[in-house]
Amino acid sequence: GESVGLHLPTLSVQEGDNSIINCAYSNSASDYFIWYKQESGKGPQFIIDIRSNMDKRQGQRVTVLLNKTVKHLSLQIAATQPGDSAVYFCAENMNDYKLSFGAGTTVTVRA
């Protein structure tokens, strides 16, 4: 499943499929980007980050892609599992400390 375009608030994906969550950021001067996962009743949990001198970074089952030309960030989740159901936020780091968050995408994994 994929949230296409600049941003879609919801994404439904079949268990086992790959998920792609997209995010457009606003400040071309931002040099650090982070994806957070927020489960119900919990605070945002760090997933993966990437700096502006990189185009791609991989973690465990997750990959973040950065396209600075169009100010676009994406999070790919491989083999989506029920535990991946959550709200996913992208955030850009401005001025070294102040995080600016996107609107969030709610991912629902279908069994």
Q: Rounded to whole angstroms, how far apart are CA atoms 33 and 20?
A: 16
**How far is it, in rounded angstroms, from Cα 105 to Cα 10?**
5
CA distances from 94 to 16, 73, 97, 101 (A): 35, 15, 6, 11
Of 14 and 108, which has the nearer Cβ to another protein? 108
Write down the least CB distance from residue 107 to another protein, Å.
16
Among residues 57, 37, 54, 55, the alpha carbon closest in space to that of 101 is found at 37
Q: Determine if 24 is a binding residue for another protein (CB under 8 A).
A: no
Q: How far apart are CB 83 and another protein at their closest, in Å?
A: 18
- Here the tokens at position 72 are 């676009």
In angstroms, give the least distance from the CB of 82 to another protein: 21
Site for another protein contains 20 (CB under 8 A): no
42 or 70, CB closer to another protein? 42
Residues that bind another protein (CB under 8 A): 31-32, 34, 36, 41-46, 49, 51, 89, 91, 93, 95-104
